[in-house]
Every structure is written in C-alpha cells, then in structure tokens.
Amino acid sequence: MSGREARSTAANGGPLRYRVPFTPESAWDDRIALAQSKGTSAFVKGMTERWLTQSYRETHPAQMEKMATMISRTAVDGLVGCAHAIKKMNQASILADIKMPTLIIVGEQDVGTPVSAAEFLQRGIQGSKLVVIKNAGHLPNIEQTEIFDRAVLDFLGL
C-alpha cells in the first residue's frame, strides 16, 4: 500500500483502492487549466451535471439559475487554489484515527463521490453511520432537504 492509497475489501471480496478525495489528480489539473483559460463560467454545465441529478436540474430551473450564477461568480484564483489543495490531499491513511461519532451522507446518484466511496469511508471509520439518500447526487442537502435534515437530526439525537 502506497502513502497515497489505502486498501479495503469490497463486499464482493475484491480489493478497493481509493484516494481520499476520490477524484484523480489529472482531473483536477484539467479543471485548473480550464479555469485559467476560460474562467469559472466554463464550469457551470459540468459542475451542475456532477452535483445534481438530471431530474432535479429539469424540475428546478430557478435553483439552477442561482447555482449557475454562484459558480460563474466564483473567483478563478479561488477555484484554482481549491483545486490545487484538493488534488494533493489524501486522508485515507487517517480514517482509522477518527474516534468520534461520524455520519457519512451520500446521494445515491453522486458521480463525484459514489456510494462505493462512501462505503469505503464507512469501513475506514469505526462505528460510523452511512446514509444513502435516494434521488440525489452530490448535494443531497439541496435535492432531498427533508431527508438530509432528518438524517442529521436523528444522528444528533434531536
């Protein structure tokens, strides 16, 4: 096992290798180059498609317009700095060190952090709880607000 990866065993018995975060460094390099050459408005379509399900995008045009504005107004330097930080980060080796109650929430249709990645986190953090939210992508707090909020409140015992 290298310093940049962790191993786990999948439910089917096969090995899984993940970096935490789960997006390859080359994808972050591509995003950096795009931001520097085209600006943040070039990310609207790709980000919204990765973050939100097609059904949500089609049925919430006002929210999509707000999200497009938010993405477009993001400073290029901010997006580039974030991408540089994330692409080198790898938290896989410290998952076992987390000794506090941990709630992992993932959208069932999350492209960027799929359910298999959330399951990897759960296996790495002893006693953690995993909630998979149906009909949601990377932002289940937006797509399925009530279900997301209920999961958090239940976890907190409220």
Angle of CA points 117, 120, 123, to nearest 5°: 155
pLDDT surpassing 60 at residue 29: yes
Domain final residue, candidates 54, 89, 124: 89
pLDDT surpassing 60 at residue 4: no
Residue 59 lies in a domain: yes
Structure tokens at 56: 């949500």
- Region 24-48: what's the mean pLDDT? 90
Q: Among residues 132, 152, 134, 124, which one has the least CA distance to residue 20?
A: 124
Residue 15 lies in a domain: no
Residue 10 lies in a domain: no
- Region 8-25: what's the mean pLDDT? 48
Residue 35 lies in a domain: yes
Question: Are 44 and 83 in a shared domain?
Answer: yes
Whether this prediction's pTM lies above 0.85 is answered by no
C-alpha 145, offset from chain centre: 16
Domain final residue, candidates 72, 89, 106: 89
pLDDT 10s digits, 64-83 = 999 999 999 999 999 999 89
- Region 109-116: what's the mean pLDDT? 92
Residue 3 lies in a domain: no
Question: Are 104 and 73 in a shared domain?
Answer: no
pLDDT surpassing 60 at residue 50: yes
Residue range of the domain that includes 37: 21-89
Question: Are 104 and 139 in a shared domain?
Answer: yes
Q: Using an 8 Å Cβ cutoff, are 101 and 12 in contact?
A: no
Q: What is the CATH number of the domain that holds 142?
A: 3.40.50.11320
Residue 13 lies in a domain: no
